[in-house]
Structure formats: structure tokens, C-alpha cells
């Protein structure tokens, strides 16, 4: 990930040792918002999205759409109205593309509307280790031609065509790119080995409401009949189950008790099943997840897997939970190399962990963590380090804060509302007052 420090960069100051308590409501699913915004480019008719998370990644995608000619109303709110009467360029702003991996989702809509697309290398977390090979594979199968050069440039001047595609990897965004392209390719496209995460399902359902015929939604095999003129549509995004799981871990590591509202019970099950195995006292009733004060215990192994397995986006957070659990846990993220390396910083806090290789880590607990300066190298490990800071003795400084704010809206205010003792300061200066200004309160664990 590119270093996000610079003018205006801030970090979070955390006084550890305070149990979280209260209630919090999650926003719409970040990983659904980005492909649905991209889908709005497939039509010249108005589209509306409700329950959109007010996070940095969504803001970047909105700026990208505006740069392509879209009119967007409601910026800064949870309801966005998008209309793209015409696409004014085939090249999204390279600077914005470099800040958002989800910008790759613009390939299909651009090829559909103008027959050409030129994207700078997408940024976001782990840009050097997460390729767009699956995206290009699907688009080539549907008739797009690659143009050599420094950027990713594709041409489909004669239009996209239906195809039978077996994806070389069940990539979520790769599947979404294939779906977006198939929605406008005349004929029936078959996509096999497709990802089937809840946000992929949300994209399919949104496209259905625009007039696309899609069979097999929620499975690894999709049949998409495209080529019709698409109309406008509206959709309320489902609650972000990764965000809900994140708040649950924050409560568990601080010995707190909170209520988390807004995420679907079925979406939460891969996460809550692991938390329950770790003796975290949690229960789900509809869209309400409650976590009570617990004494976590280690489990032999936690392994990530595609849906409906344990999500890789939760592996950093559950690793911090393992530092507070009795016994040894092997954490295995086979999906992404080096994601766990950002957690080496926990060793400096006193955690007992051993990195076996780029995919596996052994965590022994419980360990008493000590506050220190921490570097948010990517979105999810950044939130995990905030969890560690909340559980630690003393004060930690976690930054850049913007890395975590890419995926968690109003993070500081919501932490403070749950009783966390937090403040925001410039990376090179003393703390300034904030909603959760630090106090000298006693430890509440």
C-alpha cells in the first residue's frame, strides 16, 4: 500500500484498558457499494442507492464517476442518486485509480458505453500482490483486446460478446467485473467458478432490477443474458457483516458488552461461528448481534476460505482476539500473502506470536499488551491494531488514521460513544480535542 502520510495526516491516540459498552449500527456493505456504483454507469437512466457507507473508498469511487461524466447527488449522505447520460472519457483519473482497488470495476461499464477503457494500475491494499489477471481473463473472453503500454488498456470497438468463462480464481472483484461486462454483452454468458459472497449477490440483484436476466445467483455458476437496454434502478444496501464482526472483536478484546445492529444473520454466521468456538458470548437475533463480557479460549486453527468460509477480511482482527484467548491458535490465511505481516507489530506490544510463513501465524495467549506506536499498513490490519490498542495497558498511537477510515465511517465518534478513550492528533503534533477526548479515567476491565 502506498504511504498515506503527508500534509493533514492524522493518527488515533488510544488509552487502553476501557471495556466497550453500548450499541452501534453498521453501515451498508462497503464491498457492495463499489460494484453497485460502477453498475450505475451501464445505463443513462437515474439510479438510487440507499444505506451507502460514508467512507473514503466510496468517496473516491464517486469522484471517479463524476470524472467520467456522471451526475451524483447526495454526496456525504447515505443516499446517492447517480445518472450518467453520457460517458465523457475512457480514462478515469489515474490519481484516484491509484487510491482504490475497486476502480478496476469500471472496466466493464466503460467497454460497454464507449468501447474502450484505460486504467492506471489500481491501488488500495496490497497493490503489488493482488493482480487483475482474473478481470482481464474474463474481458478477453468477451472480446476485449489488450493494448500494450504502461496502463491497463482494453478495446472493444465492435462491442462485447457473450462467452463461456471458467474463472481461474474465484475472485470477488474479478467475478463482479465479469458480471458487469456480461450484463451488456448480447446473448447468454456463462461464468463458472464464480465468487458468491453476499456483495456479489447484491450486484446481481441490482442488475436484475435494471433489466438483466441472471440465473444461479448465490452459486458458483451464473448464466447472464445481456444486451438489452438497461433502465434505472434503486436498492438499499445490506448491512456490512465485516464491520459488524469488527465491532464484535473490539468488544471481546476489551471485555466489553455491546449490541451491533444492521447486519444479516446469515451473513454473520461464518464469523459468529468462529467467535462462539472461541467462547465469545455472542448471539444473533435477526439483524441484532449482541456480545457479552467473555473469557476467550484458543481454538486449534482458524483458516480463511471463500464464501461461506471464514472471511479473509476478518483474519487480522481474529488474530488480535487470539492474543487475549487462553491457549494456542494457528491462524492460516491461504488467500493472501503477507496480510499477517502487518501484525508483527503486536510482538512489540508483548504479544506471543510466531510467523511461520507468509500465510500462517501461531498466537499464544492470553498476553498483556503494552501501548506503543503502530503503523496501519492496510485497512483491516489497521482496525486490528486499534483493537490491540484498546486492549493494551497505556497509550498507543495508531496511524495513518485515513487508512482505517477507508472502510469504517465516523470511526472515532463511534468508538467514543462506546466508551473508548480516544483522540485524534496530527502525525507530528500534540493531540487535539475530539469527540472521544482522552481522560485519566480508571480501567474498567
16 neighbors 394 (Cβ within 8 angstroms): yes
Q: Rounded to 5 degrees, what angle do the CA atoms 127, 133, 139 make?
A: 125
Given the residues 27, 57, 125, 240, select the one marked as catalytic.
Answer: 125
102: its cell numbers: 475497486
Measure the CA–CA gap between 428 and 426, rounded to whole angstroms. Answer: 5
Residue ranges of the alpha helices (H) in 262-419?
Answer: 265-277, 315-323, 345-348, 379-391, 401-405, 411-417
* Residues pairing with 354 in the sheet: 362
Calculate ∠ Cα 126-130-132, nearest 5°.
140
Q: Are the CB atoms for 175 and 202 separated by under 8 Å?
A: no
Q: How many CB atoms lie within 10 A of CB 269?
A: 14
Asked if 386 and 407 count as a contact pair (C-beta separation under 8 A), the reply is no
Pairing of strands 360-365, 352-357: antiparallel
- Check if 125 is active-site: yes
Residue 211, phi then psi, degrees to nearest 5: 115, 10
Cite the active site residues. Answer: 125
Amino acid at each position: 500500500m502506498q504511504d498515506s502520510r503527508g500534509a493533514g495526516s492524522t493518527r488515533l491516540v488510544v488509552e487502553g484498558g476501557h471495556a466497550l459498552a453500548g450499541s452501534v449500527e453498521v453501515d451498508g456493505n462497503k464491498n457492495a457499494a463499489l460494484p453497485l456504483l460502477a453498475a450505475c454507469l451501464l445505463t443513462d437512466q437515474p439510479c438510487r442507492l440507499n444505506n451507502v457507507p460514508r467512507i473514503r473508498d466510496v468517496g473516491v469511487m464517486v469522484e471517479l464517476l463524476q470524472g467520467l461524466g456522471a451526475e451524483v447527488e447526495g454526496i456525504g449522505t447515505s443516499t446517492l442518486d447517480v445518472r450518467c447520460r453520457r460517458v465523457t472519457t475512457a480514462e478515469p483519473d489515474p490519481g484516484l485509480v491509484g487510491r482504490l482497488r475497486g476502480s478496476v470495476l469500471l472496466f466493464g461499464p466503460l467497454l460497454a458505453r464507449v468501447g474502450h477503457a484505460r486504467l492506471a494500475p489500481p491501488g488500495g491494499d496490497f497493490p503489488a500482490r493482488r493482480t487483475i489477471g482474473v478481470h482481464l481473463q474474463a474481458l478477453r473472453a468477451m472480446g476485449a483486446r489488450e493494448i500494450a503500454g504502461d496502463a491497463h488498456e482494453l478495446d472493444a470497438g465492435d462491442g462485447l460478446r457473450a462467452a463461456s468463462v471458467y474463472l481461474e480464481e474465484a475472485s470477488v472483484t474479478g467475478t463482479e467485473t465479469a458480471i458487469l461486462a456480461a450484463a451488456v454483452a448480447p446473448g447468454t454468458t456463462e461464468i463458472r467458478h464464480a465468487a458468491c459472497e453476499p456483495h456479489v449477490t447484491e450486484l446481481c440483484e441490482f442488475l436484475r432490477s435494471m433489466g438483466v436476466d441472471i440465473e444461479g445467483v448465490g452459486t458458483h455458476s451464473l448464466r447472464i443474458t445481456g444486451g438489452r437496454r438497461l433502465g434505472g434502478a434503486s436498492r438499499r444496501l445490506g448491512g456490512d457483516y465485516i464491520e459488524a464482526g469488527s465491532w464484535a472483536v473490539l468488544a471481546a478484546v476489551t471485555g466489553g458488552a455491546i449490541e451491533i445492529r444492521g447486519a444479516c444473520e446469515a451473513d454473520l454466521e461464518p464469523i459468529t461461528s468462529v467467535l462462539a468456538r472461541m467462547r465469545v458470548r455472542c448471539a444473533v437475533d435477526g439483524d441484532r448481534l449482541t456480545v457479552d463480557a467473555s473469557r476467550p479460549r484458543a481454538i486449534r486453527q482458524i483458516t480463511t476460505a471463500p464464501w461461506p468460509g471464514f472471511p479473509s477480511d476478518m483474519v487480522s482482527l481474529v488474530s488480535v482476539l487470539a492474543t487475549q484467548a487462553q491457549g494456542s491458535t494457528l491462524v492460516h490465511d491461504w488467500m493472501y500473502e503477507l496480510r499477517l505481516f502487518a501484525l508483527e507489530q503486536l510482538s512489540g506490544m508483548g504479544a506471543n506470536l510466531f510467523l511461520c510463513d507468509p500465510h500462517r501465524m501461531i498466537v499464544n495467549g492470553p498476553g498483556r499488551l503494552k501501548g506503543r506506536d503502530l503503523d496501519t499498513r492496510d485497512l483491516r490490519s489497521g482496525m486490528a491494531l486499534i483493537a490491540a490498542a484498546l486492549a493494551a495497558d497505556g497509550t498507543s498511537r495508531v496511524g495513518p488514521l485515513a487508512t482505517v477510515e477507508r472502510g469504517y465511517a465516523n470511526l472515532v465518534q463511534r468508538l467514543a460513544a462506546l466508551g473508548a478513550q480516544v483522540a485524534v492528533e496530527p502525525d507530528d503534533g500534540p493531540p487535539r480535542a475530539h469527540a472521544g477526548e482522552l481522560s485519566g479515567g480508571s480501567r474498567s476491565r
